[in-house]
Amino acid sequence: MKLPFDHNSISSRLIVTGLLPLALLSTLMAFYFISNQRAEMLSNLHDTGHIAVRQVSQSTAFALYSGDRKRLDSLSYATLEIPSVEGIVFYSYKDNERLKIGSVGPSKGEIPPNIDISVPFQIGGYWYFYSEIISERAPIMDFEEVIEYEPEKIGWVLVALSDEILNQKEQSFIITAATVVLLSLLLAFWLSIRISRTVSEPLESLTEVVGKMEFGDLNPVASETGISELAKLARGINGLADSVRESNQLMQSEIDRATQELKKTLADLEEAMRTKDQFLARMSHELRTPLTAVLGFSKILLEETDELKRIEQLGVIQRCSKVLLTMIDDVLDFSRAERSGFTLNIVAFELDKLVGDLKSLFSLEAKKQNLSLKIHLDNEVPNNLYGDPVRLAQIISNLLNNAIKFTASGSVEVSITPQKAKSKNVALQFVVTDTGKGISKQKIPSLFDPFTQEDISINRLYGGNGLGLSIAKRLVVAMDGDITIESEVNVGTKVTFSCEFAENENCVTKLQTEDTNNQLADNMLSGVRILVAEDNKFNQQLLVELLKHHGAVCHLAGNGQEAINMSETDSFDLILMDLHMPIMDGKEATKIIVKNVTCPPIIALTADITDLVKNELIEAGAKSVQQKPLDEIKLINEILKVLDHQSELSNLSGEGMLSSVIPVADLKKEIEKNLDNLEASLRNSDQTALRSLLHDLMGFCGLYGISEIRELVIDLKNLEINSCPKSFEIIKAIRQHMMTSDKFKSVDPLQKI
């Protein structure tokens, strides 16, 4: 039999907890019963002794009194028959002699003097019981007068009882008790082992199972039989193992799935990186191509003396610049769409005019490639609509641009037909069809991805940034429409998109700007009183010159507070309010000015291009926000629009640069002054001044179209405005650019920007 010796084991503890109290209890009970038994036996011995001595004392009184030794012996021997009685000692007062009968009894002088013989006492192995032998004197007369009779003491008797029988019985009882206790303990020990094994063995089995589980082996199954609690535990462990097994499987599948996703993501990332690299290379190529032309023709232009050739070369430079601007606009559009989606500017427009403009725009390109461009506008299509004509034109332009670009021969057709709308809106379907090279079906799904073209060769052959279709799709979606491409290689491509518009049923005849002349009338703002709130002197001069050129009467305010004061004391038709100004900025000033119900309309000017800033300015009360760098035509048109001089609106697409004349020396001087202040602020870590100067410089550069310097200023701003060496390097780069740039050369033939 295997004994559990591990004192920390359950079985050991069960045995100990079972046996220890039992052993203790058994010992105590045995001790108690033995003591009790001994006390009882001793009590019996005493009773026997008392009875014997009393009997002897009473029965032998006569014999002792009479000195009848024979009778005394006879009576004493009868008493000696009582078990344990071993001897009797008589003493007669009358004869003053001691008489010992039997084998045991203390002889004269053997009783220690300090022993009280009136109570049982023990000497050696014998108990002695003492009693006086008294002759009772009973009243014998009938009319007795004496109340009490003094009994006559004849002598005394000691009866000796051996405790041998008591000891034997006690010994026997101890042996019996010890045997019983031992047997009980053995039985308890055996039962404890049995019980502990019924607990410990299943527990060990469970521990083994759990141990295997710990090492990942979930196959062992714990036995669910035996003690109910352990069976319950086994069920729990089995359930846990099942759960862990399922969890492992699930986890493994998740890991597999995640791995797959990760691989896919990695592949996508690699693809994206590759696409980005391709895009950068493409953009670099796309940007360099027109830039090369611009730079080359600019150089030639400096040396060219023939006025006609110079005009022609300037035209090339202008077109290349437009290409560059379009490309940058596309990238910015896409970036904006990615960040916050397109915001449509819903206005009333006439579809036939838009179509006409597009046809005019692309007819020349088509002719150059000997392509036939046809635009069919179905008669059922309502002409007066509400929508964003600019974005619609952008979509069609992108599609037409692609169609013309990829069609070597044949035709390009645009078809506009009505569709059944989901609501009261007007649904239109636009189909652009070409007879170009076509696209393989496998490539079609990825065509709407940004920076994606059919293949790399396309870019080499045809250029482009791969954003056209992507922007077009986002615009279509913004107009609640859909766009699809059907194509067959070497047959042609058909791009279909649909958009919804609201019909303008209360259409009024709008002013038409048939003339697409690039020039603005000089007196369009004739007599208009404009308050220009601008802190920068140079900007003040620029804006005043520009507005005066168009006939406006300008008044200047150096900050927001000054603008408020002037608006209260004088009457103006319009206020141009710069955002960042000292003392009080444009937003706060606008808020205060618009509280006056008779206040003039306010156009806010800012270099900050975020929608958040624009919305804040509109909420402050500005009628519109013009972004720096200012577009002269857009600014004038916006002023006219705000002044409700719609008749004088120009829909010309401006050159994007102010055409007013500003002395280059003054401009250069102002920029250098700003740069000096910037360096000083950087050294002083004057964060407030830094922010203000950077903003001014950005607006200033934007205002004058000095984009190279503006980008450097943006870089400077992105360095989180601190005095790190990089900041000074950028300022140095700006200064170098000013030195090398043709714009700041005094020999500039135009002396103007």
For another protein, the closer of residues 78 and 511 by Cβ is: 78
Task: Tell me: does residue 69 bind another protein (CB under 8 A).
Answer: no
Query: Which residues partner with 529 through β-bridges?
Result: 553
732 touching another protein, by CB under 8 A: no
Among 69, 108, 137, 263, binds another protein (CB under 8 A): 137
**Shorter beta-carbon distance to another protein: residue 138 or 750:** 138
Residue among 81, 136, 306, 720 that touches another protein (CB under 8 A): 136
Nearer to another protein, 146 or 597 (CB): 146
Among 140, 308, 364, 597, binds another protein (CB under 8 A): 140
Whether 711 and 629 have beta carbons less than 8 Å apart is answered as no
The residue from 66, 340, 345, 518 that contacts another protein (CB under 8 A) is 66
Determine the Cα–Cα distance for residues 64 and 82; give it in Å rounded to an integer.
21
Q: Give the interface segment with another protein, choosing from 81-89, 146-154, 412-420, 732-740 (CB under 8 A).
A: 146-154
**Could you say which of 4, 19, 58, 65 contacts another protein (CB under 8 A)?**
65
Length of the chain (residues): 753
Contact code string over 402-431 relative to another protein, x by CB under 8 A: ------------------------------
Mode of pairing for the β-strands spanning 97-102 and 121-123 = unpaired
Residue from 2, 109, 113, 138 that binds another protein (CB under 8 A)? 138
Cα of 535 vs its chain's centroid, Å: 46
Cβ-Cβ contacts under 8 Å for 456 (sequence gap 6 or more):
278
Query: Cβ contacts of residue 12 below 8 Å, gap of 6+?
Result: 4, 5, 6, 196
Take residue 617 and report the two structure tokens written for it.
């300015």
Q: With CB under 8 A as the contact rule, which of the stretches 137-145, 178-186, 223-231, 437-445 interacts with another protein?
A: 137-145
Piece in contact with another protein (CB under 8 A), picked from 145-153, 230-238, 266-274, 292-300: 145-153
- The reply to whether 253 sits near another protein by the rule CB under 8 A is no
CB of 147 to another protein, least distance (A): 7
Among 147, 364, 597, 750, which residue interacts with another protein (rule: CB under 8 A)? 147
| Piece of the chain touching another protein by CB under 8 A; list 139-147, 219-227, 266-274, 518-526 | 139-147
Q: Is 141 in the site for another protein (CB under 8 A)?
A: yes
Gap between the Cα atoms of 582 and 575, Å rounded: 17
Task: Say whether residue 440 binds another protein (CB under 8 A).
Answer: no
Examine residue 145 and tell whether it contacts another protein (CB under 8 A): yes
Name which of residues 152 to 211 contact another protein (CB under 8 A): 152
Q: How many positions of this chain bind another protein (CB under 8 A)?
A: 20
Among 38, 54, 62, 642, binds another protein (CB under 8 A): 62
Site for another protein in 116-135 (CB under 8 A): 135
Window contacting another protein (CB under 8 A); options: 136-144, 424-432, 554-562, 722-730 = 136-144
Is residue 493 a contact partner of residue 438, using CB atoms and an 8 Å limit?
A: yes
- Report d(CA 226, CA 202) in Å as an integer: 8
Query: What does the block give as tokens for 578?
Result: 């710069």
Q: Are 422 and 449 in contact (CB under 8 A)?
A: no
**Looking at 52-60, 62-70, 344-352, 659-667, which segment touches another protein (CB under 8 A)?**
62-70
Q: Is the dihedral of CA 723, 665, 320, 514 positive or negative?
A: positive
Region of 697 (left: φ > 0; alpha: ψ -120 to 50; beta: rest) is: alpha
CB of residue 143 vs another protein: minimum separation in angstroms? 5
Nearer residue to another protein within complex by CB, 148 or 644: 148
- Shortest distance, position 62 Cβ to another protein, whole Å: 5
- Angstrom distance (rounded) from CA 448 to CA 495: 12
505 binds another protein (CB under 8 A): no
Q: How far is the CB of 150 from another protein (least distance, A)?
A: 10
Residue closer to another protein, measured from CB, 64 or 160: 64
Cis amide bond preceding 113, omega within 30: no
Q: Which residue is it, tokens 């090398």?
A: 740
> For another protein, which is the closer residue by CB, 155 or 629?
155
Q: What are phi and psi of 127, to 5 degrees?
A: -100, 140
Alpha carbon separation from 711 to 465, 486, 724, 733 (Å, rounded) = 21, 41, 18, 11
Residue 728 is a binding residue for another protein (CB under 8 A): no
User: Using an 8 Å Cβ cutoff, are 96 and 126 in contact?
Assistant: no
Pick the closer one to another protein by CB: 142 or 720.
142
Q: How far is the CB of 149 from another protein (least distance, A)?
A: 6
> What span, in angstroms and rounded, lies between the C-alpha atoms of 719 and 55?
130
- Rank residues 59 and 559 by Cβ distance to another protein and give the closer one: 59
How far is the C-alpha of 494 from the C-alpha of 500, rounded, in Å?
20
Contact assessment for residue 600 and residue 567, using Cβ atoms and an 8 Å cutoff: yes
Judge whether 560 and 589 are in contact, CB under 8 Å: yes
- Please say whether the beta carbons of 20 and 32 come within 8 A: no
Which one, 134 or 180, has the nearer CB to another protein?
Answer: 134
CA angle 727, 730, 732 (to 5 degrees): 110
**Using the rule CB under 8 A, is 94 a contact of another protein?**
yes
Residue 319 sits at φ, ψ, to 5 deg, of -65, -45
Asked if 67 touches another protein (CB under 8 A), the answer is: yes
Interface with another protein (CB under 8 A), residue from 142, 148, 505, 720: 142
Contact 550, 638 (CB under 8 A): no
Q: 157 by DSSP, 3-state: which? A: strand
State the minimum distance, in angstroms, from the CB of residue 141 to another protein. Answer: 5
- Of 5 and 143, nearer to another protein (C-beta) is 143
- Which one of 117-125, 140-148, 264-272, 497-505 is the stretch in contact with another protein (CB under 8 A)? 140-148
Q: Name 63's Cβ contacts closer than 8 Å, sequence gap at least 6.
A: 69, 71, 72, 75
Q: Counting contacts by CB under 8 A, is residue 70 touching another protein?
A: no
41 vs 63 by CB, closer to another protein = 63
Structure tokens at 45: 């011995």
CB of 96 to another protein, least distance (A): 14
Between CA 557 and CA 186 the distance in angstroms is 114
Rounded to a whole number of angstroms, the minimum distance from the CB of residue 88 to another protein is 21
What proportions of the chain, in percent to the nearest 5, are helix, strand and coil? 55, 15, 30
Task: Establish if 96 lies at the interface with another protein (CB under 8 A).
Answer: no
Applying CB under 8 A, among 124, 139, 239, 663 the residue interacting with another protein is 139
Q: Which residues, listed in sequence order, are joined to residue 121 by a DSSP beta bridge?
A: 128
588 binds another protein (CB under 8 A): no
The least CB distance from residue 133 to another protein, in Å, is 13
Chain centroid, CA 493 distance in Å = 48
Residue 627 identity (one-letter amino acid): Q
**Binding region for another protein (CB under 8 A):** 62, 65-67, 94, 135-147, 149, 152
